Amino acid sequence: MNNQNPWVDRFVPLLDDDAIRSRVKVAPEPLMRLVDLSVGEAVAEIESRLKQIYLPTDQNVRIIRWIIDYIFGCVKDRYSNRSAFLRDVYNPTYKDDKLPSAYCLSGLAGVGKSVLLEALQKVLPADFEVDVGEGHDPFPVRSCWYVRLSADASLSDLLSPYVQGLGEENTRPRNLIRRCHDRAFRDGVGLLIADEFQHLNAGEHANALVTKYLLKFRSIGVPFVFSANYSLGHRLSRRPQEDKQRLLSSPIVLLPEDPRGEDWVKYLHEIKRVLGGFFFVDPVQDRAAMFNYSAGLPRLVNNLIAIAYKISRGNGKVVITIEDVCTAYQSLEFTINRCDVMKLNEISIVGSMAKFSKADSHLICPFELPKSKVQAVAEHLQEERERRVWEAGLNSSLTEEERKNCDKLAGSKKAEQNSGKSNKTSTVFSMRTKKPKSADEIIAAAQEFQNSILSKKT
């Protein structure tokens, strides 16, 4: 026997950001020859391939690293050596004096909470067996238990698979949590993950049921992470103080990426690579538009691209342009999501503390975020509004002939994109055939446009 601690040592290689990135990154193969498929088949391929993309951002890595660091500390405290393990594993009354914290991973629907939890499982060490000596058979060592809720799942349905072999009496509700506690300790479980709680999130009875499940999971005695949409976070915040302290004292909020940051651009570049050359959206020039249409939510980005491709093929084209994405945003299929995006943009600008209806609670973070976390999106949206105001003012100052020339340029560029070919020649049109409008006229036109977009809450 040596002095190594296998329960603890397994996590040491993971205390490194680069190691986390390399383990969780998923870069699917590019799509080829979609034009040979029917529209329905092609859309299904696009949706499937885009869902496979996982490009860990700095935010993702920070969250995963923090959870692993916490697991490492808890395991180090709980499994000091082989002798202490053997003493406690055979002690029928053994129970930890303190319970590890429960971490609430909160975020908007579609921001990637479940995908992050899947990545977290992927980065954790593989299961193995540890030799404790003294004539014992090797003990199993598992890194993680994962439960995914469904509308009709009972606590026994969720946890019984982890205590198989203990007999029916030990898996009954009154004994289940204690048996889970003992089995988790024996198996060296470092983390319990609970996902998809929104399936139980309907009505006050469901709220009490969710709270009951969460408290039971926490009492198993291993570090515990559960995901919660904003709406569930608001429901839990109305629970008694003791419940809130146990479940909401350590929130982790997953936010959309900064629309001006490198991670957002890298994500769009990855989409462009995976879509194999028919995605004529510029990851740099069009990054603002892609964020404005999706609120930075990957699920909505994927939905927009699928709708845009359907529209493009319906118009006899073989590529997707930013104009197609704009049309998808305005489409009937995207109506519900568009309403949410518009409301999210409004919340980002005026702040979540402004008056919003109860129906908007699923869009408002239940935790007070540091100003630095939300300022980037608010500044981006303000800049976008100012840009549109300026463009409207400029457009109103053009003469009729100047507008026609601009339309010709725009039409030429659009035709080039739709054909999927690059035309390196350019045409120069003469401009300014009459006196430009005065500054006062431009300002008045800009103010008129600003009033119109504000009235539409865009």
**Nearest partner of 427 among 412, 407, 439, 443, judged by Cα:** 412
**What is the CB neighbour count within 10 angstroms for residue 423?**
10
Distance CA 105, CA 116 (A): 10
DSSP state of 16: S
Q: Which numeric CATH code is attached to 57-254?
A: 3.40.50
Which residues, in sequence order, are bridge partners of residue 72? Answer: none
Q: Residue 358: in which H helix or E strand, if any?
A: none
* Helix segments in 81-172, DSSP class H: 82-89, 113-123, 155-159
SS3 91: coil
Nearest to 204 by CA among 236, 245, 249: 236
Phi, psi for residue 141 in degrees, rounded to 5: -130, 120
Give me the half-sphere count of Cα atoms (radius 13 Å) on the Cβ side of residue 410.
8
Going by DSSP bridges, is the β-strand pair 191-195/224-229 parallel, antiparallel, or unpaired? Answer: parallel
- Alpha-carbon distance 417 to 423, whole Å? 9
Q: Where are the domains of the chain?
A: 57-254, 262-455
Residue with tokens 């395991």: 75
The tens place of each residue's pLDDT in the chain, 458 residues long, gives 456 899 999 999 999 999 999 999 999 999 988 889 999 999 999 999 999 999 999 999 999 999 999 999 999 999 988 888 988 888 877 777 678 889 999 999 999 999 999 999 999 999 999 988 777 889 999 999 999 987 777 888 899 889 876 555 555 667 889 889 999 999 999 999 999 876 665 555 678 888 999 999 999 999 999 999 999 999 899 999 999 999 999 999 999 999 999 999 999 999 999 998 899 999 999 999 999 999 999 999 999 999 999 999 999 998 999 999 999 999 999 999 999 999 998 888 776 555 667 778 889 999 988 776 666 665 665 666 555 554 555 555 556 665 566 666 655 555 555 555 544 433 333 434 444 445 455 445 545 544 544 444 44
